[in-house]
Amino acid sequence: MRRVALSGLLGTAVEFYDFLVYGTVAALVFGDLFFPDADPAVGTIAAFGTFAAGYLARPLGGVVFGHFGDRIGRKSMMLLTMVLMGGCSFLIGLLPTYDAIGVWAPVLLVALRVVQGIAIGGEWGGATLMVVEHAEHARGAHGSRRGLWSSFTQLGAPLGSVLSAGVVTLVSALPDDDFRSWGWRLPFLLSVVLLAVGLFVRLKVAESPLFEQVRREPLDRPPVVELLRRPAPVLRAACVGIGAFTAQSLLTGFMISYAVDHGYSRPQVLTAVTVASCVALAVLPAASALSDRVGRRPVVLAGAVASAALAFPVLALVDSGSPGLLILALALGHGVAQSTMYGPLGALLTEMFGTRVRYTGASLGYQAATLVGAGFSPLIAGSLLAVYGGGSTPVSLLLCGGAAITALAVWRMRETHTASLDASPTHRPAAPVSEGTPR
């Protein structure tokens, strides 16, 4: 279990390191380097547009890798997605800029982001399923510590954030000309180190025991067709994750651009993001372990309510101009509220689908949530700020909206933490609560 959990942790860390390094560098210099003919505000929006392009490809990756993961196995897909993720990040670090090759620079950037997004679309599902399915097999008791073990995969998010913020903080301390000419490339090139370590661990992990039990049972239809015949669980899974990803995207990558525009230095903002991610490293496993005891629903619901309640106060603290209050704001909004929503998500989404369609179902739900919550939020926030000025109200309203969607979706679900991970392809323990059904 420790090796499987470490494998999931490293895979998600590579995923979030690659995506957050891009989001951070895009906020700082990509507008000038790849879209130099645009107005500064338009250049920033275009840079975040390529960020969204990676998210647009994620549901496709969830379908493709989910299909083969449900038919061939989890392990082989985990290896392939990790190679593609790290490889694309490394190639971004080698890309010529607009001054060198003209319009081909943004074209190649978008192409690499799309391939990376497809790979990431299959990464989380494989990593999480391996951990949760191994945990179910190892313990043999319904609902046994699946949340706690799955939190190791979820911990990859703040770990990747800490690593990306730390590396970008170091290189952004370079003189501005050096950072713009070659320093921005280093965080992307260093992703190859995480890739090597992750592959070394994953090669030693055994295939999921639950999948081995059912791999020879035929499916009448491809997993995605089976799921889309009854799409409610996938839509519900997507809605559950939207709040966590909206908060994560707005309070990490987008917040760097927003705070720098409001007078903070790059090191001050990156320090705040790093501290918030360190807080998340403690909150995530605590929230996940608590969900094993009291259930997934109350923990995720508490995080959603906290995220909505803190939305306006957090942005007010950011607007204060105080570096100390900036750290407090991100620690509360991202480190505590967002992490409470995100911690139990791996176990919760896994428990909503049967073994033969679980990779595809959990991946589709999760990646649809990232597309809506994380992919479009920075783009929408940047556009609203450009149109209506620099006030923080649009950002706060987006945070509240994402949290409200999550809260409503969780409120309408049955509890899943005591459900068996049934092998049936039609297993749906997370059906909506109907009248007279105990919550």
Mean predicted confidence (pLDDT) in 208-225: 76
Q: Which H/E stretch holds residue 49?
A: helix 40-56
Amino acid at 339: S
Please name which of 344, 346, 347, 327 lies closest in space to residue 335, comparing C-alpha atoms: 327
Q: Is 190 a residue whose pLDDT tops 50? A: yes
The pTM of the full predicted model, rounded to 2 decimals, is 0.81
Model pLDDT for residues 79-99, shown as the tens digit of each residue: 899 899 889 999 999 999 888
Residue 336: the pLDDT is: 96
Question: Collapsing DSSP states into helix, strand and coil, what is residue 404?
Answer: helix
Count of CA atoms in the C-beta half-sphere (13 A) of 385: 26
Query: 42-49 — which CB contacts under 8 Å span 24+ positions?
Result: 42/386, 44/257, 44/382, 45/379, 45/382, 45/383, 45/386, 46/106, 48/23, 48/254, 48/378, 48/379, 48/382, 49/379
Model pLDDT for residues 60-76, shown as the tens digit of each residue: 888 899 888 888 888 88
Question: Collapsing DSSP states into helix, strand and coil, what is residue 323?
Answer: helix
Q: Please answer whether residues 47 and 27 qualify as being in contact, where contact means their C-beta atoms are separated by less than 8 angstroms.
A: yes
Residue found by looking up tokens 């070394």 in the block = 200
Choice among 25-39, 157-171, 328-342, 415-429 with the minimum mean pLDDT: 415-429
Model pLDDT for residues 418-435, shown as the tens digit of each residue: 877 764 444 444 444 433
Token pair for 299: 């923990």
Model pLDDT for residues 276-291, shown as the tens digit of each residue: 989 999 999 999 999 9
CATH class of 2-204+230-411: mainly alpha
Compute the mean pLDDT over every residue in the chain, rounded to the nearest whole number: 84
Who's near 103: CB < 8 A, 6+ residues apart? none
Choice among 232-246, 321-335, 367-381, 402-416 with the minimum mean pLDDT: 367-381
Residue 291: the pLDDT is: 93
Choice among 324-328, 370-374, 383-387, 397-401 with the minimum mean pLDDT: 383-387
Buried b or exposed e, range 182-205, using 16+ CB within 10 angstroms:
ebbbbbbebbeebbeebbebbeeb
Please name which of 307, 253, 266 lies closest in space to residue 283, comparing C-alpha atoms: 307
Question: Collapsing DSSP states into helix, strand and coil, what is residue 94?
Answer: coil
First to last CA, the chain: 32
Q: What are phi and psi of 286, to 5 degrees?
A: -65, -45
**pLDDT > 90: what percent of the chain?**
27
